[in-house]
Amino acid sequence: MKNYLIPANTKKSQLLLGFFTPLDLIIFAVGCVWTLIMLLIIKSTNIFALILLMLPALVGTFLVMPVPHYHNVLQLLTNIFNFYTNRRRYYWKGWSMYEEFNSNSK
């Protein structure tokens, strides 16, 4: 009886800090740097303006935030987008010896 058990965290060692891909860290860093630049350039005391200035960092944080039983929100949103935009009806004609023969002879 040869049963092989794959540990649940086999892919975790390939991620940075066990949670993030390099793209995740780039998205987070760009959002934080952009927010910092805007906060340094635009000086405001209005709370609504400060929330708008911090929006890039908040969006970047939301996209790379880990989700339980999943990698992160960015990957989840990508999979949902691909599911609804790609073709979901697949046609299968089966295998035909004659089609293989005709495609090779052309």
SS (H, E, C) 40-82: HHCCCCCHHHHHHHCHHHHHHHHHHCECCCCCEHHHHHHHHHH
Where residue 64 falls among pLDDT bands split at 50, 70, 90? Answer: confident
pTM for the whole thing? 0.57
Quick one: average pLDDT of 54-83? 83
